[in-house]
Amino acid sequence: MINSTQISYFTLAAYFDTGLFKYICFLIVMSLYIFIIFSNVLLIVAIYMNRGLHEPMYLFLCSLFVNGLYGSTGLFPSLMVQILSDIHTVSAPFCFLQIFFVYSYGSIEFLNLAIMSYDRYLAICYPLQYNTCMTFNKVAILIAVSWLYPLIAIFILISLSAPLQLCGNIINKVYCDNYSIVKLACSDTTVNNVYGILYTFTTVILVLLILYTYLKILKVCFSGSKQTRQKAVSTCTPHLASILNFSCGCFFEIVQNRFDMKNVPNMLRIFLSLYWLTCQPLFNPVMYGLNITKIRTTCKSVIFGKIFTVTL
């Protein structure tokens, strides 16, 4: 499939010579990656260990944290190697594999956030029917769909991009990007464009679902009691902040892909292109870990209780 592109490797042209500064960049990126692994694994372990957290909301959060690890693994190891390397090239098979990781991560993240919005909508707008509506089987099906659909959809996307005849092999980013590869095509890309439009349409549906659920939640907040408003604010604030954070990252990425960014400083372009991939794995553990009391308490127990006891 990949051999038909007649391109054996791609050059990542966004990198530039930074001299000794590359070692500082490497240490920063490595520190971020270590923090992502530690914080997300800690929260997954905390949810697993505390049976009181085996509820729909926390299971959806667990899926979110697992996806953070998944997406980071598709980006950070390659990024660290490229920072230290003098020749910024990647093989075609690896490039398409990275695209699969990066794009499926983004799709899974967005679908998870949409499902969590639906969960909060049921919990706040229909509290008496919540346990009946959000059963364990339904939670399992929603999590399975949030992973399987993006994996299949992105596999099809890559299957359409890989056979394209390309006129070049230079990608103006620090990681492999499907849109950049399609722009290099000499052959007809009509099928790719149609599939991209269809996939974008499903994303728009998810955006509308999130907007609808939060309009309903706001309606309940304004018409309900003070206790209802407090509950809605405490449970929805971290989730809403996560949605806004990820949406900003996606917006930066869309702007970079669709508009000429040559007049923007190179470092800023690199930051904007990486933000949507790094913002959530870094942001989610902090936001949910600090704001949700049950998770925060369990994390303290895991770190200071279990580990400290073993040390003694």
pLDDT tens-place string over residues 175-226? 999 988 998 988 888 999 899 889 888 888 888 888 888 888 888 777 766 7
CATH topology for the 3-311 domain: Rhopdopsin 7-helix transmembrane proteins (1.20.1070)
Give the bridge partners for 9, in sequence order. Answer: 91
Confidence of residue 103 (pLDDT cuts 50, 70, 90): very high
Q: 238, 213, 62: which is closest to 123 by C-alpha?
A: 213
The CA radius of gyration of the chain, in Å to the nearest whole number, is 21
Q: Judge whether 174 and 25 are in contact, CB under 8 Å.
A: no
pLDDT at residue number 141: 95
Q: For the segment 132-173, what is each residue's pLDDT rounded down to a tens digit? A: 989 999 999 999 999 999 999 999 999 999 998 888 899 988
Domain boundaries, the chain: 3-311
Confidence of residue 310 (pLDDT cuts 50, 70, 90): very low
| pTM for this predicted structure | 0.88
